Amino acid sequence: MLQEFKIFIAKGNVLDLAVGVVIGAAFGKITTSLVEDIINPILGLIIGGVDFTQLKIVLKEAVGDTPEVAVKYGNFIQVLIQFIIIAWVIFMIVKLANRLRISESLVKKE
């Protein structure tokens, strides 16, 4: 079983996946910073200087040691913006890769 595991790990696809995961994690941090540090302050300014991440609907106020119950829609919108940015970048990368494959296959035919 150990030998099979070594063969599995040594395959190129597994190494490519590992590199992709590391790059993805780093890209996630960049996207988080873009949304939190650049996009949200601009949106907050547009909607009246409100801290975008603090937007919420309080369903029940805090009482004593019991915390409030709230729908934190500002945080949800922030995460949604991050997702859209990541999805757009992945779409553009796939589009570029497909274009390179098409042009590569045209070169091989000639």
pLDDT confidence tier of residue 107, bands split at 50, 70 and 90? low
Determine the Cα angle at 59 with ends 54 and 64, to 5°. Answer: 90
Q: Which comes out higher in pLDDT, residue 107 or 17?
A: 17
Instruction: Please give the sequence-ordered ranges of beta strands (E in DSSP) within the chain, or none if there are none.
Output: 57-60, 69-71
CA distances from 73 to 3, 52, 58, 59, 76 (A): 50, 9, 11, 12, 5
Q: pLDDT tens across 42-76, in order? A: 877 887 877 777 889 999 999 999 999 999 998 88
